[in-house]
Amino acid sequence: MTESAISAHGLTKRYGRLLAVDHVDLEVPSGSVFGLLGPNGAGKTTIIKLLTALSDITEGTASVAGFDVQRNPMQVKQRIGWVAAEVILDDDFTAWENLWLQSKFQRLPEWKDRATALLKYFDLLEEKDRKVGTYSTGMRKKLEIALALLHNPSVIFMDEPTIGLDPGTRRMLWELISGVNREFGVTVLLTSHYIEEADALCDRIAIIDHGKFVALGTPSELKARVNADLVEIETARPMDQAVLQGLPGVRDVRSQGKGWILKVDSSEAMLPRLLETAKEHAIRRINVEKPSLETVFLDLTGRRIDQGGNETFDFRKFYTTVRRSRQ
């Protein structure tokens, strides 16, 4: 075994003319949690498919759990688990029967002790004879992870593990994923388009866009890269870039759709000036963003990771902040 649980060089996937994964280099140390963070269509699932030998690599190399994915796909598959975004449980079966089925898929002669230990760990032992169709979402997720761990894999892949879950269940799952990583010493590679999720769970993160890594590092390293507030502004009548650039405290201005993104030293300090200047242009929207993984993505690409999670600017909150900062 190498030090890296996952290692890829120039990993590339082409679908016809589309470069879904574009020369990606990746090193994931054993025992760590690594996150691929990016918007829909960025290439996250494709990377997982390449690393798990479910899809042919167009170009480049990858090794997982000590084996070359292209030369030894079977050895790789025996050593990895996969928690898919889609449901894989059989609703008409009990949890125990689902585990039995999994043991058949994996050709595991000895599985009952492990299955019992996993059910116990996930607090499902007393529910093992209930049909999975009657389980809550949280219980189903736990069982899916248990299935993926049954054959004692050294690396586990989780594709959007909490997509569509309510915030409570999502947080419960974060605890579980961290727990599994610690307790079972499993290396975790997960994909997400939720900023807080990647931030909360991952030791290191690759931010991915159009099949390319645009940034790579620990969550704090990534956030430190921006080290500025971002102010988005959209006006009915166009504003001049040079005017915005000339405002005190503005470090950088870039266009975003019909508006601008300003990189500023302190949003509290410069917003009154900005509002004053933008007044005649009929402000449509202003949004202030403090350093986060979202601002890293915004800064690098001019777009948001989760377009749906757009927060509009709350003027009341803003004026309270400005009033406070003047006192």
Ligand X SMILES: Nc1ncnc2c1ncn2[C@@H]1O[C@H](COP(=O)(O)OP(=O)(O)O)[C@@H](O)[C@H]1O
255's contact among ligand X, Mg ion, none, with CB below 5 to 8 A by partner kind, is: none
Q: Which does 98 bind (CB under 5 to 8 A by kind): ligand X, Mg ion, none?
A: none
Using the minimum distance from each CB to Mg ion, give the nearer residue, 42 or 64.
42
Angle at alpha carbon of residue 294, lines to 141 and 259, rounded to 5°:
135
Q: Quote the least distance from Cβ 214 to ligand X, whole Å.
A: 13
Q: Could you give the angle at which helices 219-226 and 293-301 cross, rounded to 10 degrees?
A: 50
Crossing angle of the two packed helices 267-278 and 315-326, in degrees rounded to 10: 120
Helix 137-149 crosses helix 112-121 at what angle (to 10 degrees)?
Answer: 140
Residues in 39-98 that interact with Mg ion by CB under 5 A: 44-45
Query: Which of 2, 9, 14, 41 touches ligand X by CB under 6 A?
Result: 41
Judged by beta carbon distances under 5 to 8 A according to partner kind, the member of Mg ion, ligand X, none in contact with residue 42 is ligand X
Q: Smallest distance from the beta carbon of 224 to Mg ion, in angstroms? A: 28
Tokens read off for 14: 């082409």
Q: Does 40 bind ligand X (CB under 6 A)?
A: yes
Rg (alpha carbons) of the chain, rounded to whole number: 23
* Min dist. Cβ of residue 27 to ligand X (A): 20
Q: 223 is written with which tokens?
A: 């956030």
Number of amino acids touching Mg ion (CB under 5 A) = 2
Minimum Å gap between C-beta 191 and Mg ion is 6
Using CB under 6 A as the binding criterion, the count of chain residues that bind ligand X stands at: 11
Closest-by-Cβ residue to Mg ion is: 45
When the beta carbons of 159 and 232 are compared against Mg ion, the nearer one is 159
Least distance (Å) between residue 15 CB and ligand X: 3
**45 versus 235: smaller Cβ distance to Mg ion:** 45
Question: Smallest gap, in angstroms, from Cβ of residue 274 to ligand X?
Answer: 35
Kindly list the residues in this chain that would bind ligand X in the complex (CB under 6 A). 15, 18, 20, 38, 40-46
